[in-house]
Every structure is written in C-alpha cells, then in structure tokens.
C-alpha cells in the first residue's frame, strides 16, 4: 500500500470512550514488548511513528492510526507485563475486550507472538478468545532476525501446535530489522479485509 497520509487520530485511555469509526480497523494484539508498535511501523514504512521501547509496557492507550483515509491500525497495550499493577491490567483487559466486542469496523485481529519462545498462557488465552469472537485473524511471529532460518521453521511449528492455529490461518515470520514479512502481512490483511484497495508496497 502506498502510504500517502498517516495520522494518529484517536487515543483512548482506560476510562476513555471508544471511537465509532466508519473505516475498517485492523488490531494488533500481543504481549508487552513482543513488537506490536514495531510491526505497525514496519508495515507503514516509518521508523518510529508508533512509539516503541525496549522497556515493556510502552503503549498504554489504544491508538487508532488512520491510513490514507482508507483504514485504521489499532495499536493496543500489551498484556502479561507483571510490573503493571493488577488493577490496571484488569482495566486494560476490560477496555480491549469491550473494543473487540463492540467495534463495528474491527475486521481483523493480528495475534503477535515472539518467534523465539513457546507461546505463553496469556498468548493462548488471547488467541482462544480471538478465535471465539469469529473475527478474522492470523499470527505474526516477531523478531525473526534473532534466530536462524532453520529455527524459524521449527518455531513456527511450535507456535502452530501451542496456539492451536486452525488450518488455513497463516503464521507469518516478521522482523522489524530486516523487514522480512512486510509484503506477506499486507497481502494477508488485504485478502481478509476484502473492501480494502490494492496493495503495492
Ligand atoms: P508494548 O507497547 O510495551 O506492549 O510493546 P510492543 O509490543 O509495542 O513492542 P515494541 O514494538 O515497543 O518493541 C519492543 C522492543 O522489541 C523494542 O526494543 C524493539 O526495538 C524490539 N523489537 C521489536 N520487533 C523486533 C524485531 O523484529 N527484531 C528485533 N531484533 N527487535 C525487535
Ligand atoms: Mg507498543
């Protein structure tokens, strides 16, 4: 997709109101520090449009990025970060749940997992829940530059088994360093969200 216009349109805090959008939304779910904001930057061809950090817990709001007046990317706070208080984690869980349940425009939830590790209990719970919503989904295995090519294949199998990824649902290795996976992920998004314009990245 040629990115002509990009803006952070809406930022929603724990007690904030979710926007009622009219364009398709694609959400990015995953543990803190897995690389959600980095993936968004990679897909948009920007270095640091979505804020990233080596410290987990960077994204603390739901951020709606409007792209070309055609679609939104929704960057979500990560789950599973022990140093965020239980109360705050529960509040976040509720906001994200409400967003997944009530958004009329949410067309696809991308589940991110770290390719180096077996998916955690939280990853499994999140992906089970995504599957239960019936919203389209696929998996992105992040930080692929950190392991060898052979290990990428083996780890993809581990992810498939642990998350019980249904047949026909893709697991795409991605690296924000090498940009491996950008084209495949865009293709997957446009294939699942049928009313988006053609991709040419
Ligand atoms: P929260 O906002 O805290 O939930 O984290 P996040 O999932 O948005 O992660 P973020 O994109 O901020 O990345 C976390 C850290 O991982 C940063 O230091 C990134 O530079 C690093 N990182 C993300 N993706 C990759 C990748 O593909 N390869 C490598 N080597 N590092 C990555
Ligand atoms: Mg983030």
pLDDT tens-digit readout, 166-201: 999 999 999 999 999 999 999 999 998 876 665 544
| SS3 at position 125 | helix
Percent pLDDT > 70 in the chain is: 96
Q: Is the pLDDT of residue 19 over 70?
A: yes
Burial-class residue 154 by CB neighbours within 10 Å (0-12, 13-18, 19+): exposed
Query: Over the stretch 52-109, which tens digit does the pLDDT of each residue have?
Result: 888 887 778 899 999 999 999 999 989 887 677 778 778 888 899 999 999 999 999 9
**Angle subtended by helix axes 36-44 and 182-192, to nearest 10:** 90
Best of 48, 50, 53 for a ligand 1 pocket test (most atoms within 8 Å of beta carbon): 53
Q: What does the alpha-carbon distance between residue 24 and residue 99 come to, in Å, rounded to a whole number?
A: 14
Specify whether the CB–CB gap between 165 and 171 falls below 8 A.
Answer: yes
pTM summary value: 0.94
Q: Whose CA is nearest to atom 28 of ligand 1?
A: 143
CA–centroid distance, residue 58 to ligand 2 (Å): 5
Q: What does the alpha-carbon distance between residue 160 and residue 170 come to, in Å, rounded to a whole number?
A: 9
Best of 35, 46, 155 for a ligand 1 pocket test (most atoms within 8 Å of beta carbon): 35
């Amino acid at each position: 997709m040629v990115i002509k216009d990009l803006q952070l349109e809406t930022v929603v805090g724990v007690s904030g109101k979710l926007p009622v959008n009219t364009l398709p939304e694609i959400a990015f779910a995953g543990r803190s520090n897995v690389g959600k904001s980095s993936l968004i930057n990679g897909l948009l061809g920007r270095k640091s449009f979505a804020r990233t950090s080596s410290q987990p817990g960077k994204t603390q709001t739901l951020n709606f990025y409007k792209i070309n007046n055609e679609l939104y990317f929704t960057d979500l706070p990560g789950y599973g970060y022990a140093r965020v208080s239980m109360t705050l984690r529960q509040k976040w869980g509720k906001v994200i749940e409400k967003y997944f349940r009530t958004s009329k425009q949410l067309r696809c939830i991308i589940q991110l997992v770290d390719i180096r590790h077996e998916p955690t209990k939280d990853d499994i719970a999140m992906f089970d829940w995504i599957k239960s919503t019936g919203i389209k989904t696929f998996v992105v295995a992040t930080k692929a530059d950190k392991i060898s090519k052979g290990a990428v294949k083996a780890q993809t199998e581990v992810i498939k088994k642990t998350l019980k990824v249904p047949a026909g649902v893709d697991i795409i290795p991605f690296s924000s360093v090498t940009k491996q996976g950008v084209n495949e992920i865009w293709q997957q998004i446009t294939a699942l969200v049928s009313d988006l314009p053609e991709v040419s990245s």
